[in-house]
Amino acid sequence: MYRDLREFIDQVEGVGALRRVHGADPKFELGGITEVAAGSPDCPALLFDNIVGFGSGYRVFSNATTSPQRAALALGIDPQLRPVDALKTWKEKRGTLKAVAPAMVKDAPFFENSFEGDDVDLGRFPVPTWHPKDGGPYIGSGSLVVTGDPDSDWINASIYRVQVHGKNLVTVQFDHQGRHGAIIARKYWDEGKPCPIVIVNGQDPALFVAGFEYLPEGGSEYEFAGAIKGVPLDVVRGPRTGLPIPAYAEIIMEGMLLPPSEITLPEGPFGEFTGYYAADTRPAAVMRVDAVYHRTNPILFGSPPLKPPRFHFGLPMRAATIWGNLEACGVTDVVGAWQHVSQLMTVVALKQRYAGHSKRAALIAAANSYMGRLVVVVDEDVDPSNLADVMWAVTTRCEPSEAVDIVRNAWTSSLDPRLLPAARAAGATSHSKMIIDACKPFSWINEYPISSALMPAEAAEIEAKWRHALSPAAFCGVPE
């Protein structure tokens, strides 16, 4: 696998999925190009250079893992697999991962360029203002925020958004106080102390995946990333904080997260993954950046939330968790699971064995679908990753008066744009979920009209045999 972000970019370019963009403006234009590219049929990754106001070599990389192919590359999975097969492979790999402890090394490439004290100036980097109504530039839309528990050896390295407020000040938005980074910081603040903190930008994609995972308290994102890659993650001690830092990351900020009783700054708003601004400007904890280190020709990693169906990952990894939960609950014959519209719609495909089989699967999936309002269950001849295929099942197998149910007072979030303002202010974050049973009715399944379409396995076999003739290169007369 790749050693760092640079090697991953080389792999992406090797499969023809990288586009190099020159001359874009960091204010709105980088974000606009990222969104348009993410919504295009080939959904390329982007490497920006010669950015307006900056010289060559100060780069921004976006859309890193927004396609199934690149998400598979990031996870160490065959990128040629069909999306559902890639997700199944990840589900199986995820279930057998063994933690790999990081390896401490003495030096790191990011020490090639070091700035401390008054020499710190975040303006040297082309930090994007991603959306037109964002509260400011965000250096952290896919950055790791590293903190260490003062009472144990637990190192947390999760992804929280980071807004730039000056040459050496940024805010870290935890979004709620149950986040692990907030729990650790609060321990320092309760003692009247600042919290040592490191913000890692331009980490490799395995760390990006790990930073998004819901690991238990005490869990190590570094060990999880090592497990994905199958080798220890090289880390180096931060000179000021002593915190372990991924040695091959691109841009490092080291300093202190100051107690909110001492200072806060207005953070946001920031466009969310739902495609809306769900929260207004609000106070956030302030990091004083005491030192910045970066590799020569640094790459700022950007993964801004975008209007659905664009999402950080082309493989919906939380759907793999739902798939695993279904199996753990004893629901047999699940052949696939997927999430569309940035995880807001969950689809489960299964081979029906008994009356109520599909409803049982739907209720479990609904209980585990964060913010999602729609849960659809389909038969095994429907590819859950193909929205057109799913809608074919909905429109030809679902009788609304018989096969639609509503679950009320279900799980959502303060980011839900449909919450009433009064409910959001009161913390009443619940909504309803619609369950659509788009399976053939079990009571007369054997009499249901026979489909003329290929089964997913048959389609996969044809694709594998004739990929050379069906690829874009074949139509352009380009030898593969």
Flag the least confident range among 44-58, 204-218, 407-421. 407-421
How many residues appear in the chain? 480
Please provide the average confidence, as pLDDT, over all residues in the chain.
94
The model's pTM is 0.90
pLDDT score at 460: 82
Average confidence (pLDDT) over 57-70: 96
Residues 45 and 17: their CA atoms lie apart, in Å, by 6
The residues, any chain, with a CB within 8 Å of residue 170's CB and separated by 6 or more, are 122, 139, 140, 162, 163, 164, 199, 253, 286, 287, 289
Omega cis (within 30) before 309 = yes
Contact present, 256 and 242 (Cβ < 8 Å): no
Percent of the chain with pLDDT over 70: 98
Q: Dihedral sign, CA of 90, 246, 178, 430?
A: negative
Q: What is the bridge-based pairing of β-strands 244-246 and 144-148?
A: unpaired
Domains of the chain, each with CATH number or no CATH: 5-302 (2.30.110.10), 317-449 (3.40.1670.10)
Report the pLDDT averaged over residues 411-440.
Answer: 90
pLDDT digits (tens, 9 = 90+) for 287-310: 999 999 999 999 999 999 999 889
> Could you tell me the pLDDT band of residue 473, with boundaries at 50, 70 and 90?
low
Helix boundaries (H) for 257-413: 317-328, 357-367, 387-397, 400-403
- The answer to whether the beta carbons of residues 111 and 337 sit under 8 Å apart is no
What mean pLDDT do residues 108-129 have?
97
SS3 at position 390? helix
Tell which wins on pLDDT, 264 or 470.
264
